[in-house]
Chains A and B, each alone.
Chain A
Amino acid sequence: MIKPENQVSLPTQLPAGPRFTIPLRFRDRRRVTMLITLLILGYVTLITLPTMIPDHFKLVEAITGFTENIKIMFLQPHLSNTSWLSLLGGLGQSILLAFLTTLIGSVLAFFLALASTRRFAPTALVLGIQSFMAVIRAIPTVLWVLIYSVVFGLGANAAVIGITFHSVAYLTKVYADSMDELSPEAIETLQAMGLKRPAIICQALIPYLKPSYLSWTFIRFEINFADAVAIGAAAGAGGIGYQLFMSSSFYFDFHEVGVMVYLILAFAVVLEIISYRLRSSNTAQH
């Protein structure tokens, strides 16, 4: 029998004791966070859904009524109580309200953003302004309008101030965020060239950030228009929102609601086209 010169031997593994390790998929922080968040959201939803439906509720009846009204609204829109002229006037008022609040808001927010960007302002000021703005943003626009209607009385003044509050808080945050994106090296270079702060702001900051400002301000205009409609209904501040509220909750005339919804949709289409053009011209520049 031929013996092999080198005996082949397999290295024997020492038996290791049972090791208790957590599988990788439970150690991944992101995966665990995601799973827990989804579980909590799902649980909250599942326990809330059944409690929402009140006792003795005729779900089928409600749904048929709802689809009936939707049909009336979209397929048979016509006016009965209001004239086209007053409706267009209402739409114009809502647009003016959105425009005015965006204008005031963006001017105020620009200066506040300058005071709350990490590039120019001290940390204490940044934190102070940003947290103050977070509190203002936390209060819904309707509540602002209602609060100011105590002070000024119901009407345009309260509506403008109320919507402006929210706009200023929102725009300050996004403007400051886009200013933070400006690289500190660029500012240092300009300072080394001997430029003073106003010159840096006017000649470098504004031209550089103009496209992002325009698009954020436009987004805010769209939000303000939606808000202006809602405010008109909830706070009685006038505009097409008020007319919408009157014809749906006082006259129960869904034909008329249909006309108003179509008018608002038409304006929304115009806005969407403008924002598309703005976006495509921005990407063309870069």
Chain B
Amino acid sequence: MKVDVKAANQFFNQKRLRLTAIIVVFGLAYIGASLGLGFQSRSLLGVQDGIAWLAQNFIPNEASKGYWTEISQQLLRTFLVAVASTTCTAAVSLFLAILGAKTLAVSRSISWLIRGFASLMRNIPIVAWAMILLFSFKQNDLTGFLALFFMTLGFLTRAFMETIEDFGTEKIQALQATGATYLQIIFQGLIPEIAIALMSWILYMIENNVRDATLVGLLTGTGIGFIFNLYFKSLRYGAAGLVVLAVILLVVSVELISNLIGRLLS
């Protein structure tokens, strides 16, 4: 019995020691990173000031009423661009994913090529896309659309490819054994079966793109991001707060709609 107590004590002591070591390491890392960045920890206590700022400027007053038409117009525009770019990306990604999926095995080298391409597209920073596109396509909606398109392309291709690979090889082989051609396997077997998974990825991506569209707009000078920047830089904080409120409304309603569709599909 005594040995048991000893063993248990040792077990807990070791655990405590490990926990302490982890906390110390992360604490040191935290201090190091704060020093490296010049971040003051006491500003964590000032978090409520930002919320207070928002609360103060959220409440639409006489001055911000005039901005509402412009904001809602730009919001709708941004939403449409985000949806359009997601849909276009989805079509291209599906094509690439079918070509690149290992289980459908068109060719090993094509599969690796598409995989590498998707990875490359996903990791090029959105700033670089936005800036290069801005330089050649100038300041318009098309730039925002293309920036979102390239950003999403890598991610969706990767996601679709993994969905197709989860479909497995057995079903494909069974279909082949019945004499189905390649196109029949894809359009009659594969796509109907994975349609719901693909749709949930597309809905997720629309949500994400609506949020990213603000960032892209800020960088390329289009849509809702641009007018936020405009109001913000000209110190019209009431109007800027209204833009934030509008973005919240849009993103939350997109999320609710996509949840509804997800529930109807399950």
Q: Mark B180-224, 1 if CB is under 8 A from A, else 0.
A: 000000000000000110010010000000011011001100000
Among listed A9-17, A44-52, A79-87, A180-188, interface-contacting one: A44-52
Other-chain contact of A230, B80, B81, B126, B251 (Cβ < 8 Å): B126
Which A residues, 112 to 159, have Cβ-Cβ distances below 8 Å to chain B? 134-135, 137-144, 146-148, 150-152, 155-157, 159
Query: With A41-B87, A148-B50, A254-B132 as given contacts, are A226 and B126 in contact (CB-CB < 8 Å)?
Result: yes
Out of A62, A69, A140, A230, name the residue touching B127 (CB < 8 Å). A230
Q: Which residue, A69, A140, A157, A232, has most C-beta atoms of chain B within 10 A?
A: A140
User: Smallest CB-CB separation from B138: which chain A residue?
Assistant: A62
A241-256: CB near B (< 8 Å → 1, else 0) gives: 1001100110010100
Contact B133 A66 (CB under 8 A): yes
Taking CB atoms, residues of chain B closer than 8 Å to A179 are none
The one of A69, A103, A233, A260 that contacts B132, using a Cβ cutoff of 8 Å: A69
B63 within 8 A of A: no
Contact of A152 among B46, B140, B141, B228 (CB under 8 A): B46
Whether a CB of chain A sits under 8 angstroms from the CB of B104 is no
Chain A CB within 10 Å, residue with most, of B26, B38, B132, B219? B132
B residues in contact with A284, CB < 8 Å: none
A-B contact count (CB 8 A): 197
CA distance A252 to B88 in the complex (A): 29
Task: With CB as the reference atom, state the residue of chain A lying closest to B48.
Answer: A151
Q: Is the CB of B124 within 8 A of A150?
A: no
Please tell me which one of the listed residues A45, A73, A147 contacts residue B88 in the complex, with CB atoms under 8 A apart: A45
Given contacts A34-B199, A142-B218, contact A245 B131 (CB under 8 A): yes
B17 at interface by CB-CB < 8 Å = no
Whether A70 is near chain B, meaning CB under 8 Å from some CB there, is yes
Contact partner, A138, options B54, B212, B247, Cβ 8 Å: B247
In the bound complex, CA of A260 to CA of B125 (Å): 10
For the complex, is B265 an interface residue (Cβ under 8 Å from A)?
yes
B39 at interface (Cβ–Cβ under 8 A)? yes
Q: Mark A218-230, 1 if CB is under 8 A from B, else 0.
A: 0000000010011
B218-261: CB near A (< 8 Å → 1, else 0) gives 11000001001000100001000000100110011001000001
B264 to A29, Cβ gap below 8 A? yes
Main secondary structure of the interface of B (DSSP, over half): helix
- The reply to whether A52 and B84 contact each other, CB–CB distance below 8 Å, is yes
A50-83 contacts to B (CB < 8 Å):
51-54, 57, 62-63, 65-66, 68-70, 73
B43 within 8 A of A: yes
Are B50 and A147 neighbours in the complex by a CB distance under 8 Å?
yes
A residues near B40, Cβ cutoff 8 Å: 157
A33 engages B218 (CB within 8 Å): no
Contact of A45 with B50 in the complex, beta carbons under 8 Å: no
CB distance from A238 to the nearest CB of B (A): 8
Q: Which residues of chain A have C-beta atoms less than 8 A from B68's C-beta?
A: none
Are B84 and A103 neighbours in the complex by a CB distance under 8 Å? no
B-side contacts of A48, CB under 8 Å: 80-81, 83-84
Q: Is the CB of B142 within 8 A of A234?
A: no
Q: Return the CB mask of B1-38 against A: 1 if under 8 Å, else 0.
A: 00000000000000000000000001001100110111
28 contacts between A and B (CB under 8 A): A29-B264, A33-B261, A41-B202, A45-B87, A45-B88, A48-B84, A52-B140, A52-B142, A66-B136, A69-B135, A73-B128, A96-B37, A97-B37, A100-B33, A140-B215, A147-B244, A150-B53, A150-B237, A151-B49, A156-B37, A156-B38, A161-B44, A229-B126, A230-B127, A248-B127, A264-B123, A264-B124, A265-B120
Chain A to chain B: the 6 pairs with minimum beta-carbon distance, closest first:
A248-B131, A65-B136, A138-B251, A268-B123, A66-B136, A233-B127
Interface residues, chain B, with chain A CB atoms under 8 Å away = 26, 29-30, 33-34, 36-40, 43-44, 46-47, 49-50, 53-54, 80-81, 83-84, 86-88, 119-120, 123-128, 131-138, 140-142, 145, 195-196, 199, 202, 211-212, 214-215, 218-219, 225, 228, 232, 237, 244, 247-248, 251-252, 255, 261, 264-265
